Amino acid sequence: MTSIETNKLPVLLTIRSEQRYEDTEPDSIELMTEGTLVLTGENGIVLSYQESELTGLEGTTTAFEIQGPQVILTRKGNVNSQMVFEEGKQHTSLYETPFGELAIGIQTSRLRHSLTERGGLMDIQYSISVDHSVTGRNAFKIRVRRKHEFRENGPS
């Protein structure tokens, strides 16, 4: 067993994702799912979980990797993408669609988190632009709680 595997902590994630496009009502999804939290290096954390039919990304693993002032969202599986969030900065990301790859700009307006090995909260607000035109404003709010395992015979 590698040291990464021994550092995997089971967690419960409550993920609220909201997308706003001009002249439309916000589209939001709230999802509760099981995932893992891995402590990496100095103050680094990786949250990962399996997407479901509810999100339209079934067969995809999503990971949020916290590295200093950045959070990198990576999706692998049926959908592959990587998005870099850093408050006050714009990053260009490649987003894979069934029709080909698309370069999108990610401008992060807010990135806050209080995550530790015990859980916590993460709040990311950002806009997406294609060809330098903002196409939508989005947000992730993620609550992380440690999952406490019960013995097979129940609590003693």
Closest to 31 (Cα-Cα) out of 111, 143, 127: 143
Alpha helices (runs of H) in 63-153, residue ranges in sequence order = none
> 149 pLDDT band (50/70/90 cuts)?
low
Q: Can you give the pLDDT at residue 150?
A: 44
Digit-coded pLDDT (tens) for 20-40: 887 778 888 898 999 999 998
114 residue type, one letter: S
Average pLDDT, the chain: 86
User: How many alpha carbons lie under 13 Å from residue 132 in its C-beta half-sphere?
Assistant: 0
pTM above 0.95, yes or no: no
Mean pLDDT (whole number) for 85-97? 89
Distance CA 22, CA 15 (A): 23
> 155 pLDDT band (50/70/90 cuts)?
very low
**Phi/psi at 140 (5° precision):** -120, 130
Q: What percent of the chain has pLDDT over 90?
A: 51
Burial 59-69 (b: 16+ CB within 10 A, else e): ebbbbbbbbee
Tell me the two tokens of residue 88.
């006050």
Cβ-in-10-Å burial (0-12, 13-18, 19+) of 35 comes to buried
Closest to 110 (Cα-Cα) out of 92, 91, 123, 129: 123
Residue with the bigger pLDDT between 126 and 57: it is 126
> 46 pLDDT band (50/70/90 cuts)?
very high
Whether 4 shows a pLDDT value over 70: the answer reads: no
Residue with the bigger pLDDT between 43 and 74: it is 74
Whether 95 shows a pLDDT value over 50: the answer reads: yes
Chain centroid offset of residue 14 CA: 11
* Strand 100-113 relative to strand 81-86, pairing: unpaired
